[in-house]
Amino acid sequence: MDSLNVLESLKSWLWELQSSFILLWKGLLNVLAKPFYLQDTAEQLDVIGVGSLPVILLTSFFTGAVFALQTSDILREYGSTASMGQLVSFTMIRELGPVLTALMFTGRVGAGIASELGGMAVSQQVDALRSLGTDTIKKLVTPRIIACLIALPLLTAIGDFLSIWSGQLLTTYQIHQNPSTYWNSVQQHLKWEDLYFSFFKSIAFAIIIVLIACYQGLKTRGGTRGVGTNTTKAVMSASILIIASDFFLTKAITLFIIHHHGHH
C-alpha cells in the first residue's frame, strides 16, 4: 500500500512538473506574438522589480557586513587580511548573492504572484477572461515571466555590489584596513566568469520562481483557503528548488569553465 502511495505522489509530482513546463513554454512563446501587453508588463516590472528593491538592499547590505565580520577574525589569525576583498566578492557574486536574492524574491514576488493569480482563479476572473476569448497565459503569465527575467538579474547585480561595499565598510572600521587595499583585492581577483556565474544563476532562479508561482496560482481551487494553501506551496517549492538547483548549476557552470579553459 505504501509503495502505491509513493507511486501516486511521484506520478502527480511528474504531472505537475510537466504542466508547469508547458505553461513556461507557452508563456515564452507568447513573448514574440501579438498582442503585446506592454502596459501589463510595465506594471509587473514596477511591482516585481522596484517593489522588491528595499528588501534586497537591506538583505544584501547586512549579509556582506556579517560575512566580512565573520571572516575578519580568521583572516587576521593567518595574517592575510589583504585578501578580504577577494573573499567577500567571490563568495557574494558566485554564491550568496544570487541565492539570497532569489530566496527573498521568492518570499515577496513568488507569494504575490501565486496569491494574486489564485484570487483571480477562485473568483472566476480567469474563466471570465477565457470566455471573452483572451489568451489567459499571454495576458497573465507572459508579462510576469518577462518582468521576473529582467528584474531578478538586475536586483542580484545591485545586491552583489552592495554586499561587497558593506564588506568594505566593515573591514575599514573593524580591522582598520585602507579601502584601496580592499578594492584592489576585489579588482585583481574578480573575473568575468564570476559575473557570468551570478547572471546564469539568477536567470535560472527567476524561471523557477515565476514558473511555480504562476502554476500554483492558476490551478487554485477552493476559495480563500485554497489561495493560502497554494501560495504557501509555491513559496516552499520554489525555495527548495532554488537551493537544490544551486548545487547542480554550480557544478555545471564550474565544469563548463574548466572545459573552456582547457580548450584555451
pLDDT tens for 100-143 read 999 999 999 999 999 988 888 888 877 887 788 777 777 788 88
Are residues 157 and 198 in contact, defined by beta-carbon separation less than 8 angstroms?
yes
With cell 550568496, the residue in question is 96
3-state secondary structure 190-201: CCHHHHHHHHHH
Axis-axis angle for helices 179-189, 142-174 (nearest 10): 130
Cα 134 from chain centre: 29
Report residue 6's pLDDT band, with 50, 70 and 90 as the boundaries.
Answer: confident
For residue 139, what pLDDT is reported? Answer: 79
For residue 60, what pLDDT is reported? Answer: 93
| Position 167 pLDDT exceeds 70 | yes
Share of the chain above pLDDT 70, in %: 95
Are residues 215 and 23 in contact, defined by beta-carbon separation less than 8 angstroms?
yes
Task: Please give the Cα distance from 51 to 257 (Å, whole number).
Answer: 35
Q: What is the pTM of this model?
A: 0.86
Are residues 217 and 114 in contact, defined by beta-carbon separation less than 8 angstroms?
yes
| Position 1 pLDDT exceeds 60 | no
Q: What confidence tens digit (pLDDT) does each residue in 206-222 have? A: 999 998 898 888 887 87
Q: What is the mean pLDDT of the chain?
A: 85
Ranges 48-52, 223-227, 245-249: which has the least confidence: 223-227
Q: What confidence tens digit (pLDDT) does each residue in 195-207 have? A: 888 899 999 999 9
